[in-house]
Amino acid sequence: MLTRSSFDYALVRVVPRVERGEQINVGVILYCKTRDFLAARIALDPARLAALDATADIDEIERALALIPLVCSGDPRSGPIGRLPQSERFHWLVSPRSTVTQTSPVHSGLCEDPESALIKLIEKMVLPPTK
């Protein structure tokens, strides 16, 4: 039997017009210290974004969102933030900001496999519901 580990996660949101506060969930960042795991999955739906703001610069938003998994993995392309320890990268990613890309408050959970938990969260919280 696998042991369960605690993890923290935050939803990644796009708020195309910050002054309006309308948002869509576009990803999940999950950190599990005991399993040495920090990863993000992003799934931007351009049609949903356009429904909130037809003038949103989708290419620029996609570029910003693409950096999140790079920071999680410590990829050199993520710059100095990517060189920080995992816990500091997670806290930097989920810190409150008033930009087009934001994160939800941090939530906690238990899992046997952080990768599976990440996939379940993105399916439940980001992707369109299936029948």
Residue with tokens 């996609």: 62
Considering the domain boundaries, does residue 109 fall inside one?
yes
Any idea which residue has 């739906």 for tokens?
45
Distance set, CA 3 to CA 9, 112, 116 (Å): 19, 6, 14
Q: Which domain holds residue 70?
A: 5-125
Distances (CA, A) of 118 to 18, 40, 84, 99: 27, 8, 22, 24
Confidence (pLDDT) at 47: 94
Q: Examine residue 121 and state whether it is found in any structural domain, yes or no.
A: yes
Residues of the chain with pLDDT under 50: none
Residue 130 is assigned to a structural domain of this protein: no
Please give the angle made by the CA atoms of 24, 75 and 128, to the nearest 5 degrees.
20
Q: Is 131 exposed, middle or buried (0-12, 13-18, 19+ CB in 10 A)?
A: exposed
User: Does residue 131 belong to any structural domain of this protein?
Assistant: no
Looking at the structure of the chain, the number of domains it has is 1
